[in-house]
Every structure is written in structure tokens, then in C-alpha cells.
Amino acid sequence: MGLLLTSLMTQAATDTVRLQLTRQHSFEFAGYYAAQQLGYYEEVGLQVELLPGDQHTNVYSSVATGKAEYGVGDSSVLIERSRGRPFSIIAVIFQHSPVIFITQNHILSLDDWLGKRAMLDGSSDELLLYLQQEDVDLLDLSFLRHSYDPLDLVNDQVDIMSANSLIEPYVLSKRNYPYRVYMPRTVGIDFSGDNLFTTEAEITRHPKRVDAFKAASLKGWDYAMKHPEVVIQWLMSNYDSNHERDYLAYQAQEMFGLIQPTLIEIGYLNESRWQQMKRIYQRMGKLDRSFDLRPALYQLEQQRNWRDILLVSGIAFCAVLVLSAVVWYVLRTNKRLDQALKESQQVRKQVVLQANQDPLTELNNRRFFQKRLQSLAQAAETEMQPFALFYLDLDRFKHVNDLFGHHWGDYLIKEVSKRLLSCLPSDAELARIGGDEFTVLVSGGHSRSHLQTLALDILNVVEKPYLLNHNEVFISVSIGITLAPLDSTEPSALLQYADEAMYEAKSKGRNRWCFFSFDLHQKSVERQSLTNDLRQALANDELFLLYQPIVDLKTNRLVKFEALIRWQHPVRGIVPPDTFIPVAEESGLISEIGDFVFKQSLRQLAQWRSHYAHDLMMSINISPYQLAAPDLHMVGWFDFLHKLGLPGESVSLEITENMLMHHTDVVSAQLLAFRDQGINVALDDFGTGYSALAYLNRLDIDYIKIDRSFVKDLLEGHMEKDLCEAIISMAHKLSLKVIAEGIETEQQAAILQQFGCDLGQGYLFAKPLPVEDAEALLASQMMEK
């Protein structure tokens, strides 16, 4: 670097350039201050102006508009480039991003986040990805506007806050306020931070200036990390910094863990690591698959030797790098590094153990599992050493957790862990990688039949009863299995394939195992494609409603409509609901789709009641996943209903028998809320599931709908007739009304009317109709009056 600086000193003129910072002057930008104060910029013919920022500063806009030639940004520089801003990263300063979550100390795990108040900086992609990877549903949180004031945590104004490890932890520690830290990089989401970037125009027009600025800046950083006290003194005396010395010293110490200057050259651009970041962004849908990374990384060819050295070191070196960063951070932030560094070697070993161990079960955690998976996958690729990966997900654990509470949920997880350990062979490694998710790595070339026997052993031990708070509880587990090197030798692919196989096991009825196959993978790819298209469908108004009449069988009068959603895909054509609704439920889009159906159908109902029939009703189907977050959606429904001036009794919400039986605690509370608003509830497809008659009265059901399969066979024999008659008689004795679905002939309608069935629906009366045809039907009925 010294030779480069010497050659660049030959520039005759002094160029003035500006560097846009993200915050006010602090040690976070120490290298640039050192380059200024020591004359490194002047040596290469540069006059550099450092522009401080604040929380409202948009660094990318400053550089794009020419307010500054250079900027300090995070890895979202790639996103900005994909949006048409031709930025290039010229140096990486922080090998690890400082972005974290901090929470109240009593929040012991991610499972405790449910219903908590959160302040989230929505611009932080890595935090959003962290929540996604850890299965934290944003709908489970109560969001507040971010104040960027850690004292809100102290004053109990918020429970969870996105933060920067260089700022908020110091404020809390100084007040001796206990807190907990959650870091994306502990689960493999390891983005860089404080990247030095510029525009392609700057590189094209002033290539020597770019090299000079980069070289002088990195020389400044090298000095700053070796002489932090000198830089702190400069900050206190020469820059407009209001920070106290202790805070600047804290930042300096913290930044050693982020920059890793003793392990890697400051400024190093690791192409393979940026490729991984690109893949993560693509998985989030933030970057197109066609995004070309190389133009975004400046002068990679100059780093070829460095990169080759790191590649020879391989994955083991990366694992050491990540482990050292995580352990260093935990020691510094949560254990007060200044004290922890003086403790015994035994304490250090304990910290390392905790970094690799799940605190609840004492099993290997996700981080350790990923390291072992990486190691086994590498051996499978280079030495053809086979192994199997089992992905386990407990069936209906959330239901048990909701019913008995987190304490008993944690107890159940621990009991499951003990049972799993008891049935696994010595060559199997068990890890807990999420709330109710486990993995098993089985080394060696075991036959498929041996792995099936192991899977059966797991199913058998898990399904035995558990005693929770004096209640006998049963759960099961679904297992996905993938094989290396047969299926892949890429760790991320193997984990994805095992996950896909596990979901296939769930879709086939749960409590079973499934081996990965590429046909199954194609189904998963298609499901993901459908998910992406469904997101676009919401934005592009491709969803629409049809309305099927429901008539009074005694008078043949139309009394209500059932709103039925349809999807007009621009390429696929009409996509049936039974294809896209499960995708919507799995992806979390069901709440948004449910809101659309509810509001669109009630707007239409309000219009029809004012023009055609003041007592007309609307029936709307809801998913159990919508009931999972009632505070965020259902309450808004009530307000919307009142805003339209519609009485609650004009609306009927249809739930399924399956929802009734498997979500009784959630459903019962929500049905009471419906009842308080006067809204009717119908039990759909009655007779096809698991209905317990006791629930019908206890949960305030108003209607039951006889499934079309019973109506279809009414004319075939006595059993179907007797069954329909019994259902209708039973319902009336419970003061419930009955709707028969799928009526297609006059004979079916006559029999049902004879049995006393209240309402009917089916092609005999009308198919699902577009708005215009439904209005015409209402108008004709009004004319008949």
C-alpha cells in the first residue's frame, strides 16, 4: 500500500471530494479522521470533506445526486444498484454488520416475542430476514413508531427495539439496565457493514482518484485501529462531536469485533461472501435472479491473491471467523468485556459452549448445526462420505403452546428433546434449530431401510402421551429426509430439500416421514412460484369475487349471498381457490386476502341492501390462520362494518369443522367477539370432519352447512336420506339453522324441504355470479314483489 501511495503523490492538483457519513461524528468513522489528521489524503492530492449525517440522512441519495462523491453504506448498496443507481463498493470496513435487536431482559427467547411491542427499522433487510428465518411472524408483534431512543426500553415504552451495537447497548449499560441481544449473524445472516462506495461515473472519470481515496482511507483505518486513543482525542478536540470519551472508547473496543483487523485486511472484498449476500437478497425477493454482482464490487481482480488464500483456508476459516465474532460480541455486550477478559480460561470455555448450545434443551443450536452440516457436506463432496439429514417439525405444537402457555410449551420441548436423544444411535447428532424444529445428522452410508427404521423410532417416542399441568397431551412429528451426496453436497440445498420433504409429510397427514425427491422439489418450486405470483396478484388487482345465491327453501326467495374469491392469472388463467388458498395460508398472505374479501363483499352488500333488499345478508369464508391474529385484523373488521352502517346480523362468517376441533381455545375467544358484534357464524361442510356436538352450543354457532357430498347422494339410498334428516333435526333441537350445499335438482330440493331444511345453495338456483348478474337477480326478485 505504501508503494501505491507514493505513486499517487505525483498528482499535481488537489482534488476536493466529499464523503457522506450516516451519523454524526463518532469513532464509527475513525479511519477517515486519521487519514485527514495525518495528511494521508493530502499526500495523494486530495482534500476530503466529511459530511456528518443523522437518522434522516439518505446516504444513497447524497451520492446519487452528486452532493457527495463517496458514501458509507450497508449491504443494501446492492438493492440500490438493482434500482438503477450504478453504485460500486470499493472497500468493506465492517466485516460484520452492527445491526441487532435489543429486548427487555425478561424476554428469554424468540418464543416470548408474541404480542410484544416492537420498534423496527424497516430499512434493515437483515433484521427482517432474521425474523423470517426464525419464524417470527410480524403479525404477532405490536409495532410502534421507532424513536431511536433506548431510554424507551428503560421506561417500559417498548419491549423490542432494532438497534446498532455501537450505540444503544452503551446507553443501557451505563444506566445498569439489563437487556438481551439478538444478532442475525448467530443464525448465519452475516452481512457486512459500513461499506465505502461510489458511483460508476466516478470510477470511469477519475479512476486514479478512486484508487487514491481508497488507499489513503484504508491507511487511515489501519492507523485508527492501532491507535484508538489518538483518534478519540482528535474527535474530542477537532470535530463537532458531542460524545463523551467513555462512549468513544466503547465504540473503539466494539469495532474490533466488527472489523476483525487481526484476522482480515481492512477493506477486503470477499467475492464469495458477497455472492452469499446476493443469494439471501434473492431469496427475500429483493434482487432479481439475473442480478450481476461483479460490477458492484470494485477491482476484484486486484484481490485475487488474497481471495485464493482465503479459499484455501476454506469453510473452516470462515467458521472460526464467525465464531470469534459472535463469542467476542457476547463477551463484550452481555458480559461486560472489560471484566470478562480478566476472567479465567474456564469462563471463556463456558461462553464458547453457550454460543453453540441451545439454552432451553442444552442440545446443539442452529449455529453449531450449520457448522457441522458444512463440514459433512464438504466431506461428502471431496471424499464421497455419505450422510443423511433429518428435518423434524412438531405437529400442532403451537396449539399446545397457546392452550397451556409458554412455560408448559418449554417443558414439552425439553421432554421431546430427551425422548429424541434416547432413541438416536451414537452416530447421529441432534440439534434444536428453532422453536419446535429439530435436525438430526446421521453419518455413514446407511441404507434407506435403516433410515426408515430410525424415522419410525422417532415417530414412536414422540407420539407417546405427555403430562402437562395434570393433563395428558398427545403430539406428533413430521420428518423430512435428504441424502448426501445423492441429493446434493450444498449445505443450503440439503437443508432446503429436507424442509421440503418435511412439508410433504405434513401435507400427507402429519406424523410420518418423507424422503426428498426431485419431483417433490419441483412441486416446491412451483409452490414458490405460485406464492410470488400471488403477491403480485394482490398488487395487480387480479383477485375478484363471485357471489352465489342462498335461498329460503320454503319461499324460494334469495336471502343471502356467499362471497367466493377467484384469481384471474395473466398466464395460468383462472386459478381455483383450493390451489392458491393453502399457498396464501402458508406464506402469510391469507390475512391480506381475507381483508380484501371481507371489505369488498361488505361494500357490495351495503350497496345492494340500499338499492334492492334491506335485509339481504352476506356469507364470508375465513381461514384458521386469520383467527391466529385477531387483534390485527378482526377488530378492524368490526370498525369497517360499523363504518358502512351494516348490522352485525347481516354478516355470516363460515368456519370449518377442522378449525373448530383444532383451534378451540382461539376460536372460542374470537366467536365471543363475533357474538358481541351480532355477527353470525356458520359451520361449513358439516359431517365431513370431527364435529363434537357439545361445541356447537358452547361456541355460539348459528348455522350448519350440510356438505354437498351428502346432498349429492340423497336419491341413491336410505342411508343418505336418514343422515340428512338426522342432521337437520339435531340442528333444530339446538336452535341452529341449516343450509344445504350443492343442490342441483328439484328432487333434492323437495326432499330437503320435506325434512325442514331452512336454506339451500347450488346450481339449481344459480352458479357463482359476477356482480352484474347478481344485481340482475336481485332486481328481478324485487320486480316480482
What pLDDT, in 10s, does the model give residues 158-181? Answer: 999 999 999 998 888 888 888 888
Q: Is 649 helix (H, G, I), strand (E, B) or coil?
A: helix
pTM of full prediction above 0.75: no
Amino acid letter for position 104: Q
Residue 209 CB: number of other CB atoms within 10 A? Answer: 21
Higher pLDDT, 435 or 328: 435
Q: Which residue has the cell 508503494?
A: 3
34 and 218 in contact (C-beta within 8 Å)? no
Cell of 139: 403479525
For Cα atoms 483, 489, 495, give the angle at the middle one, nearest 5 degrees: 65
Average pLDDT, integer, range 238-249: 84
What are the Cα distances from residue 15, in Å, to 12, 80, 213, 408?
10, 27, 10, 67
What are the Cα distances from residue 441, in Å, to 135, 323, 456, 620, 729?
22, 21, 16, 46, 56
Transcribe 267-330 into DSSP letters.
B---HHHHHHHHHHHHHHTSS-TT---GGGBTTGGGGHHHHHHHHHHHHHHHHHHHHHHHHHHH
Q: Using the Cα atoms of residue 685, residue 687, residue 691 and residue 693 in order, give the sign of their dihedral.
A: positive
The reported pLDDT for the residue numbered 123 is: 67
What are residue 760's DSSP bridge partners? 551, 740
The reported pLDDT for the residue numbered 306 is: 42
Q: Is 120 helix (H, G, I), strand (E, B) or coil?
A: coil
Check residue 367 and report its DSSP letter.
H
526 and 739 in contact (C-beta within 8 Å)? no
Cell of 133: 428465518
* Topology, domain 2-97+191-298: D-Maltodextrin-Binding Protein; domain 2 (3.40.190)
The reported pLDDT for the residue numbered 626 is: 77
What are the Cα distances from residue 518, in Å, to 455, 497, 515?
21, 9, 10
What pLDDT, in 10s, does the model give residues 572-605? Answer: 899 999 889 988 887 778 888 999 999 999 999 9
Q: Is 233 helix (H, G, I), strand (E, B) or coil?
A: helix
547 and 768 in contact (C-beta within 8 Å)? yes
For Cα atoms 641, 645, 648, give the angle at the middle one, nearest 5 degrees: 50
Q: Cα 342 to chain center, whole Å?
A: 39
The reported pLDDT for the residue numbered 697 is: 60
Residue 415's H or E segment, with its range, is helix 406-423
pLDDT at 357 over 80: yes
Higher pLDDT, 68 or 707: 68
The reported pLDDT for the residue numbered 729 is: 93
Transcribe 498-539 into DSSP letters.
HHHHHHHHHHTTSSSEEE--HHHHHHHHHHHHHHHHHHHHHH
The whole-angstrom separation of Cα 173 and Cα 182 is: 16
The reported pLDDT for the residue numbered 352 is: 55
Average pLDDT, integer, range 709-714: 86
Q: In terms of residues, how long is the chain? A: 785
99 and 184 in contact (C-beta within 8 Å)? yes
pLDDT at 122 over 80: no
What pLDDT, in 10s, does the model give residues 481-497? Answer: 999 988 888 999 999 99
Could you check whether 99-187 and 529-778 share the same CATH topology? no
To the nearest whole percent, how much of the chain has pLDDT over 90?
46
User: 779: Cβ–Cβ under 8 A, 6 or more apart, which residues?
Assistant: 612
Higher pLDDT, 89 or 662: 89
pLDDT at 12 over 80: no
**Residue 319 confidence class, pLDDT cut points 50, 70, 90:** very low
The fourth-level CATH superfamily of domain 529-778 is EAL domain (3.20.20.450)
> Strand 117-119 and strand 142-143: pairing?
parallel
| Range of weakest confidence among 368-377, 516-525, 685-694 | 685-694
Q: How many CA atoms lie within 13 A of 771 on its CB side?
A: 11
CATH 3.40.190.10 fits 99-187, yes or no: yes
pLDDT at 103 over 70: yes
**Residue 105 confidence class, pLDDT cut points 50, 70, 90:** confident
> Strand 99-104 and strand 87-94: pairing?
unpaired
What pLDDT, in 10s, does the model give residues 421-467? Answer: 999 998 899 999 988 999 999 998 777 888 998 999 999 999 999 99
What pLDDT, in 10s, does the model give residues 606-625? Answer: 999 999 999 999 999 988 77
The reported pLDDT for the residue numbered 287 is: 86
pLDDT at 229 over 60: yes
**Residue 752 confidence class, pLDDT cut points 50, 70, 90:** very high
Average pLDDT, integer, range 130-143: 83
What pLDDT, in 10s, does the model give residues 175-212? Answer: 888 888 888 877 778 888 899 999 999 999 999 999 99
**Residue 308 confidence class, pLDDT cut points 50, 70, 90:** very low
The reported pLDDT for the residue numbered 695 is: 60
The reported pLDDT for the residue numbered 517 is: 85
Q: Cα 396 to chain center, whole Å?
A: 19
Widest pairwise Cα distance in the chain: 104
The reported pLDDT for the residue numbered 612 is: 93
Residue 698 CB: number of other CB atoms within 10 A? Answer: 12
The whole-angstrom separation of Cα 553 and Cα 535 is: 40
Q: How many CA atoms lie within 13 A of 372 on its CB side?
A: 21
Q: Using the Cα atoms of residue 466, residue 136, residue 520 and residue 380 in order, give the sign of their dihedral.
A: negative
**Residue 391 confidence class, pLDDT cut points 50, 70, 90:** very high
Mean pLDDT of the chain: 84
pLDDT at 380 over 70: yes
CATH 1.20.1640.10 fits 360-516, yes or no: no
CA dihedral 633, 639, 642, 647 (to 10 degrees): 30
Q: Is 577 exposed, middle or buried (0-12, 13-18, 19+ CB in 10 A)?
A: middle
The reported pLDDT for the residue numbered 630 is: 45
Cell of 37: 489528521
Domain ranges for the chain: 2-97+191-298, 99-187, 360-516, 529-778
User: 691: Cβ–Cβ under 8 A, 6 or more apart, which residues?
Assistant: 657, 660, 661, 683
User: 109: Cβ–Cβ under 8 A, 6 or more apart, which residues?
Assistant: 359, 360
Amino acid letter for position 490: E
